[in-house]
Amino acid sequence: MLHKLIRRKSERQNQSLAERISLSKKEQIPGHIAIIMDGNGRWAKKRALPRIAGHHEGMKTVRKVTLLANELGVKVLTVYAFSTENWKRPKLEVDFLMRLPEEFLGTYLPELIEKNVRVVMMGENDTLPRHTQEAVRKAMIATKDNTGLVLNFALNYGSRAEIAHAMQTIALQVKEGKLDPSDINENLISEHLMTCDLPEPDLLIRTSGEVRLSNFMLWQLAYTEFWFTDTLWPDFDDHCLLDAVESYQSRNRRYGGLKGEEKN
């Protein structure tokens, strides 16, 4: 196994991007990739630029990763663009981050439409500024019939709040006699989360060397494969995404059970 991995790594170094893409596509592609895009601030600091310059560069990375994920045949790409905790940042930075969906969609929506990408969002919509809501709403409507990659923006998203809200909704249904407590099971809870229409992530990527979940998809990541890299999000390129996908392809997913040959 280790030999195989080392051989793959040295082979990869000599492969062109096109070769790597074509080889990856011959193996299992993760259906849903979720990304914690971290390191924008440090990217900017290294260049003596303001933090917002890092976020702006990070926005361009979202485009690149979306296009390659779509090309690979990934079904869903979830990107953590703003957490419920990010409101604690300086106003200037928050205001900038709230303008980014507009800029991203204003610039790239025609390309996303051409590539058959569907834009969706999960998070607390009502407390976003009007202009942010409007930009996302327009993109969701314009792409609603697209059948390619689903680009899911986690925007003003917090996983604990999401779970608490699901619990409130379920509790209310029990109170009204529409549900019995014995009806509450894992499927029912999943159906009340913001991801009810999406498959669970197969692969989670976090950039910038941080190794934590930061209140991201805590329920949905129960059996997800994790991949961490020191690369800062604005530097994350096609080769990085392929590294993550190839690592996923070498994993042995057991979901708590045993693989065929191990059962004997």
Does residue 242 touch ligand FPP according to CB under 6 A?
A: no
CB of 62 to ligand FPP, least distance (A): 4
Q: Is residue 40 within the footprint of ligand FPP (CB under 6 A)?
A: yes
Question: Which residue is catalytic, options 40, 86, 152, 156?
Answer: 86
Is residue 158 a contact residue for ligand FPP (CB under 6 A)? no
Residue number, 12 or 42, with CB nearest to ligand FPP? 42
Nearer to ligand FPP, 24 or 86 (CB): 86
Token output for 9:
């790594």
The answer to whether 104 contacts ligand FPP (rule: CB under 6 A) is yes
Applying CB under 6 A, what is the total number of residues that bind ligand FPP?
A: 18
**52 scored as a contact of ligand FPP (CB under 6 A):** no
| Contact between residue 46 and residue 242 where contact means Cβ atoms under 8 Å apart | no
Stretch that binds ligand FPP, among 15-23, 96-104, 157-165, 176-184 (CB under 6 A): 96-104
- What single string gives the DSSP state of each residue in the chain? -HHHHHHHHHHHHT--HHHHHHHHHTSPPPSEEEEE---HHHHHHHTT--HHHHHHHHHHHHHHHHHHHHHHT-SEEEEEEEEGGGGGS-HHHHHHHHHHHHHHHHHHHHHHHHTT-EEEEES--TTS-HHHHHHHHHHHHHHTT--S-EEEEEEEE-HHHHHHHHHHHHHHHHHTTSS-GGG--HHHHHHTSTTTTSPPPSEEEE-TT----TTSSTTTTTTPEEEE-SS-GGG--HHHHHHHHHHHHT----TTS--GGGG-
**What is the closest distance, in whole angstroms, from the C-beta atom of residue 32 to ligand FPP in the complex?**
18
Q: Pairing state of beta strands 203-206 and 225-228? A: parallel
* Binds ligand FPP (CB under 6 A): choice among 59, 98, 120, 217: 59
Residue nearest to ligand FPP (CB): 41
Measured from the CB atom, the residue of 69 and 81 that comes closer to ligand FPP is 81
Please say which residue, 32 or 55, places its beta carbon nearer to ligand FPP.
55
Considering the rule CB under 6 A, would residue 42 count as an interface residue with ligand FPP? yes
Q: Which residues are catalytic?
A: 38, 86
Summarize as ranges the residues that interact with ligand FPP (CB under 6 A).
Answer: 37-42, 55, 58-59, 62, 81, 86, 97, 100-101, 104, 208, 233
